Amino acid sequence: MTRKLEFSDLTPRLEAAFWSRVHVSVDGCWLWQGTRNPHGYGVYQPWIRGLQRLCGAHRLAFMLTYGPIPDGQCVCHTCDTPACVRPGHLWLGTPADNWDDMRQKGRHRGAPGTRNQGAKIDRHTADMIRADYARGKLSQAVLGEIYGLSQPQISVVIRRAAWSD
């Protein structure tokens, strides 16, 4: 059984074990060397009183340095490095603050157009896809083959859920 790690669970032994898994840099990020989730964030899972606890490494670094994290607060990164646990790179904010920070820096997957690092097409190609579809001669699946996209991606472009004006 796994339970969320609480501030009351922290001990000097747990703190020493945690910091032993951190690569400390004099002028940059302090990178977590333990387990990471698929998004690159460090994960710490100590055993306390016979139960495994679970905590984001950046959240634990914040708690060890500054104290408890208030309910409803996120620990955000100024450096935008998910594996960073350097306390000076961490700040508290609401989920809305975290989203605003991501949007302002163009880091979220929903970034529009070519500001999205994962964009597979540009605005001109989106316009061509819409024009080809409007002629009524090609299906979304065929357009996907022509433009190297999946049918659902073509649908998103046609419906203007992506690459909207």
| Domain spans, the chain | 2-104, 113-158
Max mean pLDDT range (9-13, 28-32, 49-53, 154-158): 28-32
Tell me the C-alpha to C-alpha distance, in Å, between residue 49 and each of 2, 10, 165: 12, 12, 57
- Is the per-residue pLDDT at 30 higher than 70? yes
List of residues 6+ apart from 114 with CB closer than 8 A:
122, 123
Higher pLDDT, 115 or 26: 26
List of residues 6+ apart from 160 with CB closer than 8 A:
none
pLDDT at 104: 83
Confirm or reject CATH 3.90.75.20 for domain 2-104, answering yes or no. Answer: yes
pLDDT at 11: 85
Query: Range with the lowest mean pLDDT among 55-59, 76-80, 89-93, 115-119?
Result: 115-119
- Is the per-residue pLDDT at 164 higher than 70? no
Mean of all residue pLDDT scores within the chain: 85
For 44-62, how does the pLDDT look when each residue is reduced to its tens digit (9 = 90+)?
A: 887 777 777 778 999 999 9
Neighbours of 163 (CB within 10 A): 22
- Is the per-residue pLDDT at 111 higher than 70? no
Size of the chain, expressed as the number of residues it contains: 165
Grade residue 63 by pLDDT with cuts at 50, 70 and 90.
Answer: very high
